[in-house]
């Protein structure tokens, strides 16, 4: 081991670490710097993602309110309003008349009352079936059929009554000549015809109040 003495006037040199360690890069130019950390704002965070608000919510989906509910369907209470064939009297079946026909018509209370007063009004005002037929023929098949039957009975009753008065009037006049005026009473036999139709109108009014269809007997089908 040799010792080299320092020369007078010379200063010791510091050690050169750069040559031993090699070339190093400072901390600032490195790729990842602590002074500029990556934040969540640059990434697609929760606010930028399509959250629940942008999805199709339950209110936007076709809910139960948009579906055709039971109220929009043709209910059992008014099938006649959705069946145009029931407005045609010629297409009505036989079970549309008589006891048990209320299951066919399913008429509501206002229609029953209107049909009942149509027949009773024929006994008071005479032309009530004609008025109700013109007003209700396109609204209620039940009222239409009852008013149509009543109108045909009114026309038939008028024709037959005048014909009976004419026939019995002539016969009564001829018998009056032989029976000293007693035969003229025969002309009053013509009043039997309207009395028969009074009974028929009352029966029809009872059937209408029950919601049943009624086919008038002794009636010519003028209005179809």
Q: What percentage of the chain has pLDDT greater than the value 90?
A: 47
**Number of neighbouring beta carbons within 10 Å of residue 10:** 7
Are 175 and 186 within 8 A, CB to CB? Answer: yes
Do residues 188 and 120 make contact, with C-beta atoms less than 8 angstroms apart?
A: no
Tell me what pLDDT residue 176 has.
Answer: 85
**pLDDT tens by residue, 38-77:** 444 444 444 444 444 444 444 444 444 444 444 334 434 4
pLDDT at 11 (0 to 100): 54
Give the count of domains, the chain: 1
Residue-number span of the structural domain to which 125 is assigned: 102-210
Q: Does a structural domain hold residue 166?
A: yes
List of the chain residues with pLDDT < 50: 1-4, 6-7, 17-81
- The pLDDT, as a whole number, for residue 73 is 41
HSE at residue 154, side-chain half, CA atoms within 13 A, is 23
Among 111, 96, 98, 103, smallest CA distance to 143 is for 111
CB of 195 closer than 8 Å to CB of 157: no
Residue 156 lies in a domain: yes
Task: Report pTM.
Answer: 0.61
Q: Which two tokens stand for residue 167?
A: 């026939």
CB count within 10 Å of CB 206 equals 13
Q: What is d(CA 115, CA 122) in angstroms, rounded to the nearest whole number?
A: 11
Instruction: Classify residue 172: in a domain, yes or no.
Output: yes
Residue 151 lies in a domain: yes
- The verdict on residue 109 lying in a domain is yes
The answer to whether residue 61 sits within a structural domain is: no
Confidence (pLDDT) at 180: 80
Asked if residue 123 lies in contact with residue 153, where contact means CB atoms within 8 angstroms, the answer is: no
Is residue 73 included in any domain, yes or no?
no
Domain membership of residue 198 (yes or no) is yes
């Amino acid at each position: 081991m040799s010792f080299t003495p320092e020369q007078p006037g010379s200063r010791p040199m510091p050690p050169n670490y750069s040559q031993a360690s090699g070339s190093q890069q400072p901390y600032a130019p490195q790729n990842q710097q602590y002074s500029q950390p990556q934040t969540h704002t640059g990434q697609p965070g929760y606010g930028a993602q399509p959250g629940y608000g942008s999805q199709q919510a339950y209110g936007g989906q076709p809910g139960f309110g948009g579906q055709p509910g039971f109220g929009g369907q043709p209910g059992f209470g008014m099938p006649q309003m959705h069946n145009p064939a029931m407005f045609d009297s010629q297409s009505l079946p036989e079970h549309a008349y008589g006891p048990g026909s209320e299951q066919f018509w399913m008429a509501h209370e206002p229609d029953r009352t209107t049909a009942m007063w149509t027949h009773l009004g024929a006994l008071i005002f005479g032309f009530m079936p004609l008025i109700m037929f013109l007003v209700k023929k396109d609204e209620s098949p039940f009222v239409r059929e009852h008013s149509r039957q009543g109108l045909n009975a009114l026309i038939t009753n008028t024709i037959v009554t005048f014909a009976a008065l004419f026939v019995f009037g002539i016969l009564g006049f001829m018998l009056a000549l032989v029976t000293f005026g007693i035969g003229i009473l025969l002309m009053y036999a013509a009043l039997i015809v309207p009395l028969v139709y009074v009974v028929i109108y009352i029966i029809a009014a009872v059937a209408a109040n029950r919601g049943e269809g009624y086919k008038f007997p002794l009636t010519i089908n003028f209005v179809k």
